[in-house]
Amino acid sequence: MFNKQTIKDIKFKGKTVLVRVDYNVPLKDGKITSDLRIKASLPTLEYLISGGAKKIILISHLGRPEGTKVSELSLKPVAGALANLVSVPVTFISDVSGPDVEEGIKKAPKGSIVLLENLRFWPGEEKNSSDFAREIVESVNADFFVQDGFAVIHRAHASTDAITRELPSVAGLLVEKEVSVLSSAISNPKKPVLVIIGGAKVEDKQPLIDKFLPIADKIYVGGKIASDGYKPNSEKIVVAADFKTDSEGNKLDISDSDTEKLLELVAGAKTIVWNGVLGKVEDKPFDEASLKLAEAIGVRDDLTSVICGGDTAGYVENLIETRPELKYSLVSTGGGASLELLSGLELPGLEALEDK
């Protein structure tokens, strides 16, 4: 199923490994409000640490500073959060190439992690510049490149594409897991397959609906797309018909009877792909349908369940923090990346890695 080499295929003991992670975490007043993406990088980091990597150098972007230094988008706080989750020291360096990086890496203890500054402070990152990629590789003096930033793998940037022409490049464990589970949902799913679509932007979700039409047994459309009057083009597609409203008449969640119908579909499914919340989940009680759905999926252990899309994954991830009994096959870290993969588009950062 996964046809790229991974860190399990390389001998990295005693080597310096450059790892692209996606630490594009949500921030509020300088504080990280969800560490899902940091935690999701731990299996790869722990594998490299326990396998005896000499140094692990991490690169990532944060936000969209568009080639300039924006101090609020520094990765420094992320280094602090990471240090609390791993067993080795974490050093932060406020550059991505040049003498400070060379010196900082030399001084970092053997077996430790070094996180470099936000790649998007430099225009070369989004321009997919080979020079920018080469400067990073030469400064960190790495032996291998590992792509583990699943959420950014749909971008052709210096740290996802150009850099793979500078070093032998393989996938990390997060990329392997995300791509394997998401691909199996479209290529070899256990039947019946139920796809649940919510959220607001029909132009983002239509390619997903089109891709799943021949694969799914049912596609359920809720959320703002449904309340805005989505018109299905197939009998397989069920669209929520009634909605709960606020005092001004805004339709903010699907009705109880629509939720019941959806839960009946869930009970009969063996594969569920859920992308997009069903209501305005941040505004109680308009999270009710999404909550009931998350519970109905999470209690089943005979089901392949894929939760994807930034808002849906964030919602479910928050829920799991207080309800650890709820289990899902995959809560994807990728917003656009998972949508593009499921829609059948090529992912440049994946294509660029060494084949098996």
Q: Is 65 in the site for ligand 3PG (CB under 6 A)?
A: no
Which is closer to ligand 3PG, CB of 304 or CB of 333?
Answer: 333
Q: Which of 64, 69, 165, 284 binds ligand 3PG (CB under 6 A)?
A: 64
Q: Is 151 in the site for ligand 3PG (CB under 6 A)?
A: yes
Q: Is 201 in the site for ligand 3PG (CB under 6 A)?
A: no
Q: Is 24 in the site for ligand 3PG (CB under 6 A)?
A: yes
Q: Is 347 in the site for ligand 3PG (CB under 6 A)?
A: no
- Report, in Å, the least distance between residue 99 CB and ligand 3PG: 29
Q: Is 152 in the site for ligand 3PG (CB under 6 A)?
A: yes
Q: Is 336 in the site for ligand 3PG (CB under 6 A)?
A: yes
Q: Which of 172, 314, 335, 349 binds ligand 3PG (CB under 6 A)?
A: 335
What pairs with residue 56 in β-bridges?
A: 17, 113
Interface with ligand 3PG: number of residues (CB under 6 A): 8
Binding-site string for ligand 3PG from residue 100 to residue 139, where x marks contact by CB under 6 A and - marks none: ----------------------------------------
Q: Is 25 in the site for ligand 3PG (CB under 6 A)?
A: no
CB–CB of 165/130 below 8 Å?
yes
Of 103-111, 147-155, 188-196, 318-326, the segment contacting ligand 3PG by CB under 6 A is 147-155
Burial class for 30, CB neighbours closer than 10 Å (0-12, 13-18, 19+): exposed
Of 151-159, 217-225, 285-293, 339-347, the segment contacting ligand 3PG by CB under 6 A is 151-159
Which is closer to ligand 3PG, CB of 22 or CB of 311?
Answer: 22
Which is closer to ligand 3PG, CB of 33 or CB of 250?
Answer: 33
Q: Is 22 in the site for ligand 3PG (CB under 6 A)?
A: yes
Give the binding site for ligand 3PG (CB under 6 A): 22, 24, 64, 151-152, 155, 335-336
